[in-house]
Amino acid sequence: MTWRMHDAGPTTPEPRPGQPDAPTRPVPGLPQGEPGAPEDPVQSRRGRHAAPDPLPPMDGPMPGGGPSPAETTLPLALGWPTAPTRPAAPIAAAPPPAVPGTAGTPPDWRRVPGPGTEPPRDLEPRYPGPGYRRPAPPGGPGAPTPGTSRTPAADRTPAAGLGTGQRSSLVRSGAGMAAGTLVSRVTGFLRTFVFVAALGTGPLANAYNNSNTLPNTVYYLMLGGIFTSVVVPLLVKAAQRDPDRGEAYAQRIFTLGVVALAAVTLAATLAAAPLVDLYAAAIKGTEHDLMVVWAYFFIPQIFFYGMSALIGAILNTRGRFAAPMWTPVINNIVVITVGGLYVAMAGLDKNPSTIPADGIQLLGIGTTLGVVAQTVALFPSLRGAGFRWRPTLAFRPGDLAEMGLMAGWMSGYVVTQWAANLVVQNVANAASNHAERDGYSVYSYAWQLFQLPYAIIGISVITALLPRMSGHAAARRYSLVRDDFSAGIRLSSVIVVPAAIYLAVLGPAIGQFVFSYGSSGISGGISIGVVFGLFSLGLMPYMITQLQLRVFYSFQDSRTAALVGLLIMCVSIAGDLIALDVLPARSVVAGLAVAYGVSNLIGAVAGWALLLRRVGSLDGWNVARSLTRMHLATVPGLIFLLLVMLLAGRMLHNPGRGYGLAVTVVGGGGAVALYALCTRSLRVAEAGFLVKTLTTKFGRRRGRH
């Protein structure tokens, strides 16, 4: 489903001087009231300094009766049904072509060169919009039956060119997507808890997490949707362009992805020992040897993580979002089981010299089996979407050039992130030589927790928006890309803003309450909590940067995304080196978290400026107004949280698990409740829409029972 074009603003064609406004000629296959002519990029640039289009509110009626951005974005991301749209009037037969220069000819319509003065009868716009379909042969598939009408909802899809079954599948999959994301994050939290208790934060945990870094780096890039963000626009464009709706193109790109992943995985496995030296140059002895052994077990995960992302791209373009959100749950359950078996077999408080060989093999094989299970579980959904992989090497020169350009710049972005993480690991490992319980493992655990609030809402919204933005960008409807971007930021911020502020304060208490058991102890839990709190301060710029990258990918502009990644890498590396040089060893990892947040903040500012040049307007006023209200709504909860911390510190032993429990449950719960009340009093439309949608959904479920 897409939104109607606005009725005014720079996207409206200007009539020639002296020529009266003329009605636009209906285009076969388009609902009436939606212009078939594409948005003029020159006019769009001209409008950059003019008054922008009037932007729709988050809720309420839209011009022309169309749905609001919140009604089309949040239900797709969270799985609740959208409000019914007003049925369109039956499509009238197209009038005979007008003679150029008469009132029936659109003033800015591009005429096709050729003999005669009459435009072609079945003229198509050069860049058809998302709702446009090529006229079907008489009586063929898709030809309208006389006397019937077509509603706008029937033609509007996140990815143009998808069939009716796929459109309905999008709505059905929304609920599963949100539930799967939440369950996968909860099980991921339990996985982190189990491994903190089993391995602690010392040398054994450092060896495990350092070895698992290379495939995990790929995993987090896949989780953020970088690979999917590149493949989805290509598949959407092929679905719009090719007669077979992109089926052959999908076969070719899937084959190319499998071959590339196999080659990269094989090369990385053969180079396991040099890669360990590259990541942990400061670590020697038994810990280094254990890292090499585990690297041979873990590096093959790259292939399966990449396959999961590739399958997810195919499913997204076919309107199936739920399965990629649910399969990480299988991975987490397998690894949690492995962690429990390890504790039963080897016990707690082990180090690289005392861990038994069976424990090494169990952790190595079991961790990789979890990733394999996650990938295999996606194949039934792939078959259900109608995709049967048929390996092919029949690549066209144009396909290879298009894939190569996008993949080349995507690889550039991956390299920048990999290089930044390489510096982080070496700096953290160097610090662990002087503070062995404040090394890379603390950073790794805190990073995994940092992903939770963003993933609960941010990834779901971005996943639903990407195919929509790709369709709008392919049709050059830049105002709709802007609306999607604005709605994505505002809807995600309902959760991300309070999470960033409250978790920054709650971090140490959460560490004492949750991560102070087993091999970790109170000191290890506090270290994880402090770094987690500092990471949380950078949640907003991180979320905005991730959404900006998806906008660039929807334009098939991976070059700009790579340049933004390069800027983030340079700032991050500079901050990491400053932290190593200035801070004491126990505080270096905390400095790394601050450097990460600052680098994303600078990247978000740069990405915003580049998008302004590309789109012309980013709805900055509405975004700033919503974010200001959300931040103001957090103030009473923040004051309450600080008071609870003060009272708990006087009444309970700090540090201690009782103090952590009281602050987390009472302080955190009260802060969230006050935030919810304040968003209502401040009339934060996005929060109100979220509450209304939740109430409607669960009210309907209760009514069924």
Residue 118: pLDDT band with limits 50, 70, 90: very low
**Vertex 340 angle, CA 336 and 344, to 5°:** 170
H or E stretch at 703 = helix 685-704
pLDDT tens column, 412-464: 777 788 888 889 999 999 998 888 788 999 999 999 899 888 777 766 676 66
Give dist(CA 660, CA 512) in Å, integer.
5
The pLDDT assigned to 203 comes to 92
Residue 677: pLDDT band with limits 50, 70, 90: very high
Give dist(CA 370, CA 140) in Å, integer.
47
Give dist(CA 117, CA 99) in Å, integer.
7
Report DSSP state, residue 664.
I
Contacts of 652 (CB under 8 A, 6+ apart): 658, 659, 662
Helix (H, G, I), strand (E, B) or coil at 440: helix
Which one, of 326, 270, 257, lies nearest residue 299 by Cα?
270
Give dist(CA 406, CA 412) in Å, integer.
10
**Vertex 138 angle, CA 106 and 143, to 5°:** 75
CA R_g for the chain? 27
Structure tokens of 305?
């993580």
Q: Is the pLDDT of residue 663 over 90?
A: yes
Half-sphere exposure of 12 (CA within 13 A, CB side): 15
Mean pLDDT confidence for 645-662: 88
Structure tokens of 555?
């334009």
Query: CA of 228: how far to CAs of 91, 511, 609, 637, in Å?
Result: 37, 34, 24, 37
Query: CA of 441: how far to CAs of 179, 335, 654, 662, in Å?
Result: 29, 17, 24, 27
Contact 367, 335 (CB under 8 A): yes
The pLDDT assigned to 141 comes to 39
Contact 155, 167 (CB under 8 A): no
pTM: 0.69
First to last CA, the chain: 30
Q: Is the pLDDT of residue 402 over 90?
A: no
Q: Is the pLDDT of residue 163 over 70?
A: no
Comparing 405 with 209, the larger pLDDT belongs to: 209
38: left (phi over 0), alpha (psi -120 to 50) or beta: beta
Q: Which range (76-80, 219-223, 516-520, 673-677) has the least confidence? A: 76-80
Give dist(CA 498, CA 418) in Å, integer.
30
Report DSSP state, residue 113.
P
| Range of 179-183, 221-225, 486-490 with top mean pLDDT | 486-490
The pLDDT assigned to 235 comes to 80
Comparing 558 with 66, the larger pLDDT belongs to: 558
The pLDDT assigned to 41 comes to 42
Q: Is the pLDDT of residue 165 over 50?
A: no
Residue 228: pLDDT band with limits 50, 70, 90: low
Q: Is the pLDDT of residue 614 over 80?
A: yes
Contact 383, 323 (CB under 8 A): no
Which one, of 6, 11, 42, 58, lies nearest residue 626 by Cα?
58
161: left (phi over 0), alpha (psi -120 to 50) or beta: left
Mean pLDDT confidence for 71-92: 40
Contacts of 359 (CB under 8 A, 6+ apart): 342, 345, 346, 350
Structure tokens of 411?
């690889």
Contact 207, 276 (CB under 8 A): no
Structure tokens of 97?
């072509």
CB crowding 641-659: b at 16 or more within 10 Å, else e: beebbeebeeebebbebeb
The pLDDT assigned to 458 comes to 67
- DSSP characters over 49-107: GSPPPPPPPSSS--GGGPPPHHHHHHHHHH-PPPPPPPPPPPPPPPPPPPPTTSTTS-T
Give dist(CA 667, CA 642) in Å, integer.
8
396: left (phi over 0), alpha (psi -120 to 50) or beta: beta
Site of tokens 């890292």: 291
Half-sphere exposure of 52 (CA within 13 A, CB side): 18
Q: Is the pLDDT of residue 531 over 50?
A: yes
Q: Is the pLDDT of residue 570 over 90?
A: yes
pLDDT tens column, 246-273: 788 888 888 888 888 888 889 889 989 9
Q: State the amino acid at position 63 in one-letter form.
A: P
